[in-house]
């Protein structure tokens, strides 16, 4: 009888599964929590919609898109809009990715070779490690110190020992929310044998950048994304750097990686960034309110934040229990505690609207009082 569907009990034979690389089989897929109907404060999204006038503006532009044709492979108009907004030094080259995650993947693909490694800091953004593994590279995590700052001596020793092809520095760092000291970053740039990528995903909230210093260091690359500023659904990241280096990385980019709808929409929206800039200012202001409210809670240690999220540690209550109680009250944040180690009993909350933040603050007070 010819099978017309997969049945729940069906097993794929080991001889077939064994074709999947053992490193891949050992991985667990990047988990995205189901947020249906929740106050969603887990993924660093901008909680505000674009104003109606801006919305009709970009919808008009999108309506002109020729979806029967492949998009501009170089996304020229979009790059012009990004450069006008982000102002890299003259002569800087620009590479676009389907989210900055895809840029991390392109960088890894361009350098991957047996024995080579990618380096980043721990605790840090998990995609650096995951993509290193996807591309068959080694990953070296340099531990941050107790204040989540770079331990320069230890880091330079690791660089010397492992000679990383790429060092990723998230600025501010996720999930710790701080910007590392400039002197530490400077020493790493000076000492690194390969490329150094400053990942400025949270630039709208940190308002501090290495973009102006690009021309001083040929090994330096600056990465940005539109995700955290309010366009996470478009999937668009950008890498700035030396033209000869960008030109090589561009060779592993799949043609047409930025679809026509994203090209049209992002170009239109980024030409009029005022609304998103106001939203970022509101989020920065709300961040200060939340930092203070959390600091005022007994049993909470809150870490400084230059981003649109806050990392905090529960000193007595159990973070996983509090996380679950928040969920029962319809509030989704991120439990960092599972990883253990220096993030033991830590939670991460994204700054939302004033109303969402108030709901979160009430819910966590209740959860900590065992209500
Ligand atoms: C969220 C995040 C990204 C991912 O950005 P996308 O452009 O949405 O892929 C990159 N780096 C860091 C540090 C992040 O926190």
Token pair of 197 as six digits: 């990528």
Q: Is residue 28 part of a domain?
A: no
Cα dihedral angle (145, 218, 127, 227), rounded to 10 degrees?
Answer: 110
The three-point CA angle 347-348-349 to 5° equals: 125
**Residue 18 DSSP class:** T
User: How many residues are there in the chain?
Assistant: 371
Domain boundary among 236, 270, 304: 270
- Enclosing H/E stretch for 51: none
The enclosing domain of 329 has a CATH number of 3.90.1150.10
Distance CA 103, CA 253 (A): 9
Full residue range of the structural domain in which residue 215 is found = 65-270
The enclosing domain of 228 has a CATH number of 3.40.640.10
Q: What is the pLDDT of residue 33?
A: 77
The verdict on the CB of residue 240 being under 6 Å from ligand 1 is no
Distance 100 CA to ligand 1 centre (A): 6
Q: Is residue 60 part of a domain?
A: no
In a mutational test of the pocket of ligand 1, which residue from 43, 127, 173 has the highest number of ligand atoms less than 8 Å from its CB? Answer: 127
| Closest atom of ligand 1 to CA, residue 125 | 13
For the chain, what is the domain count?
2
Q: Is residue 20 part of a domain?
A: no
One domain for residues 301 and 260: no
Q: Is residue 203 part of a domain?
A: yes
pLDDT in tens, the chain (371 residues): 788 888 887 788 888 999 999 988 888 877 777 888 899 999 999 999 999 988 998 999 999 999 999 999 999 999 999 999 999 999 999 999 999 999 999 999 999 999 999 999 999 999 999 999 999 999 999 999 999 999 999 999 999 999 999 999 999 999 999 999 999 999 999 999 999 999 999 999 999 999 999 999 999 999 999 999 999 999 999 999 999 999 999 999 999 999 999 999 999 999 999 999 999 999 999 999 999 999 999 999 999 999 999 999 999 999 999 999 999 999 999 999 977 789 999 999 999 999 999 999 999 999 998 77
Kindly write down the DSSP assignment for every residue of 234-283, as one continuous string: G--EEEEE-HHHHHHHGGGSPTT-S-HHHHHHHHHHHHSTHHHHHHHHHH
The tally of CA atoms less than 13 A away on the side-chain side of residue 193 is: 15
Kindly write down the DSSP assignment for every residue of 165-225, as one continuous string: SEEEEESS-TTT-PPPPHHHHHHHHHH-SSEEEEE-TTHHHH---SGGGGGG-TTEEEEEE
In a mutational test of the pocket of ligand 1, which residue from 32, 121, 174 has the highest number of ligand atoms less than 8 Å from its CB? Answer: 174
Q: What is the pLDDT of residue 158?
A: 98
Protein residue closest via CA to atom 1 of ligand 1: 201
Token pair of 239 as six digits: 């890498």
One domain for residues 327 and 191: no
Distance 62 CA to ligand 1 centre (A): 25
The verdict on the CB of residue 237 being under 6 Å from ligand 1 is yes
Q: What is the pLDDT of residue 84?
A: 97
The verdict on the CB of residue 100 being under 6 Å from ligand 1 is yes
Question: What are the beta bridge partners of residue 265?
Answer: none
One domain for residues 252 and 297: no
Q: Is residue 58 part of a domain?
A: no
Distance 225 CA to ligand 1 centre (A): 7
HEC per residue, 100-137: HHHHHHHHHHHHCCCCCEEEEEECCCHHHHHHHHHCCC
| Closest atom of ligand 1 to CA, residue 101 | 9
One domain for residues 293 and 201: no
Token pair of 218 as six digits: 């040929």
In a mutational test of the pocket of ligand 1, which residue from 100, 107, 168 has the highest number of ligand atoms less than 8 Å from its CB? Answer: 100
- Per DSSP bridges, beta strands 93-97 and 237-241 are antiparallel
The verdict on the CB of residue 262 being under 6 Å from ligand 1 is no
One domain for residues 204 and 286: no
Token pair of 57 as six digits: 């503006």
In a mutational test of the pocket of ligand 1, which residue from 45, 228, 258 has the highest number of ligand atoms less than 8 Å from its CB? Answer: 228
Domain boundary among 255, 270, 285: 270
Q: Is residue 345 part of a domain?
A: yes
One domain for residues 172 and 314: no
| Closest atom of ligand 1 to CA, residue 226 | 7
One domain for residues 181 and 280: no
One domain for residues 135 and 194: yes
Kindly write down the DSSP assignment for every residue of 25-36, as one continuous string: HH--PPP----T
The verdict on the CB of residue 125 being under 6 Å from ligand 1 is yes
Distance 48 CA to ligand 1 centre (A): 19
The verdict on the CB of residue 71 being under 6 Å from ligand 1 is no
The verdict on the CB of residue 139 being under 6 Å from ligand 1 is no
Distance CA 59, CA 39 (A): 27
Distance CA 113, CA 109 (A): 9
Domain boundary among 250, 270, 290: 270
Distance CA 8, CA 102 (A): 33
The verdict on the CB of residue 174 being under 6 Å from ligand 1 is yes
């Amino acid at each position: 009888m010819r099978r017309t569907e997969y049945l729940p009990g069906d097993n794929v034979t080991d001889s077939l599964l064994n074709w999947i690389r053992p490193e891949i089989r050992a991985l667990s897929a990047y988990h995205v929590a189901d947020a249906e109907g929740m106050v969603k404060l887990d993924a660093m999204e901008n909680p505000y919609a674009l104003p109606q006038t801006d919305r009709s503006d970009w919808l008009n532009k999108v309506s002109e898109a020729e979806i029967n044709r492949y998009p501009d492979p170089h996304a020229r108009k979009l790059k012009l809009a990004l450069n006008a907004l982000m102002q890299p030094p003259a002569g800087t080259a620009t590479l676009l990715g389907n989210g900055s995650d895809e840029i991390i993947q392109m960088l890894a693909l361009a350098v991957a070779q047996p024995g080579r490694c990618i380096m980043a800091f721990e605790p840090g953004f998990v995609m650096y490690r995951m993509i290193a593994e996807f591309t068959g590279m080694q990953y070296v995590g340099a531990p941050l110190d107790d204040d989540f700052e770079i331990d320069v001596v230890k880091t330079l020793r690791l660089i010397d020992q492992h000679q990383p092809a790429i060092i990723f520095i998230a600025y501010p760092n996720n999930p710790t929310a701080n910007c590392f000291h400039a002197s530490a970053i400077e020493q790493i740039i000076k000492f690194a044998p390969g490329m150094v990528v400053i990942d400025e995903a949270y630039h709208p909230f940190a308002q501090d950048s290495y973009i102006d210093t690009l021309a001083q260091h040929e090994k330096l690359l600056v990465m940005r994304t539109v995700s955290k500023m309010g366009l996470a659904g478009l999937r668009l990241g950008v890498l700035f750097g030396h033209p000869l280096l960008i030109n090589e990385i561009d060779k592993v980019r799949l043609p047409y990686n930025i679809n026509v709808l994203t090209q049209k929409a992002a170009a239109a929206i980024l030409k009029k960034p005022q609304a998103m800039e106001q939203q970022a200012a509101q989020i920065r202001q709300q961040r200060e309110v939340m930092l203070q409210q959390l600091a005022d809670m007994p049993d909470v240690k809150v870490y400084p934040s230059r981003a649109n999220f806050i990392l905090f540690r529960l000193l007595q209550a159990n973070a996983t229990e509090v996380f679950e109680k928040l969920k029962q009250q319809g509030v989704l944040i991120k439990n960092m505690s599972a990883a253990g180690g220096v993030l033991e009993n830590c939670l991460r909350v994204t700054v939302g609207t004033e109303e969402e933040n108030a709901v979160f603050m009430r819910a966590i007070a209740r959860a900590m009082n065992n209500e």
